[in-house]
Amino acid sequence: MRKINILDLFIVVIVILAILGFFLVRSGKTPIAEVRGKEREIEIDFIIRNLPLVDHNFILPGEKAFIRIKNQPFAWVVVKDIKIYKKKIIIPDFKGGFKTIDDINNPFNVDCLVTFTARGYVTSDSIVLGTKVKVGMSITIESYKADVTGVISAIRVKEE
């Protein structure tokens, strides 16, 4: 009678668990695959600071763009609105007050506020768009002409 090697038994168990795990993930029976929450339309604002920009039509409202949240690919979203703010500097007017003028040191640097809509889940502790999203998280938007990174500044759930 042959003895069972403990190392061989360990390898067989690992292979069986890997195959079982693969089929459980494919069938959607893992806790990661299930998000408990209501699916809603989500609006997200994010700010891009100091963007060197010559073409102010780098992304247009109504255009589709791909987003990455925390460097994880998410999905195609629809850009709802974009606002571009020229950089300003404050100078004294020598009468005790201050004036703002366009920044002549960086004439092409602007700040952008981009609003987009996507389908996501509203859970008890957060909003899930592939991963939990919260104000202050890094987000990258990629369109036909641009690939820029900003920070989430507002999240709104649209009531249906």
3-state secondary structure 82-96: EEEEECEEEEECCCC
> Over 70: is that where the pLDDT of 156 sits?
yes
pLDDT at 30: 47
In one-letter notation, the amino acid at residue 138 is S
Of the pLDDT bands very low, low, confident and very high (cuts 50, 70, 90), residue 155 is very high
User: What are the residues whose beta carbons fall under 8 Å from the beta carbon of 23, sequence distance 6 or more?
Assistant: none
pLDDT score for 35: 57
- pLDDT for res 33: 44
Rg of the Cα atoms in the chain: 24
| Residue 59 pLDDT class (50, 70, 90 cuts) | confident
Tell me the C-alpha distance between 128 and 75, whole Å. Answer: 12
At 44, the pLDDT band (50, 70, 90 cuts) reads very high
DSSP 3-state of 9: helix
In this predicted structure, the answer to whether residue 10 has a pLDDT above a threshold of 80 is yes
pLDDT bin (cut points 50, 70, 90) of residue 160 is: low
Write the pLDDT tens digit of every residue in 65-86: 999 888 888 888 899 999 999 8
Please write the tens of the pLDDT for every residue from 11-28: 999 999 999 888 777 655
Taking only the tens place, the pLDDT of each residue in 84-121 is 998 888 899 888 899 988 888 888 889 999 999 988 88
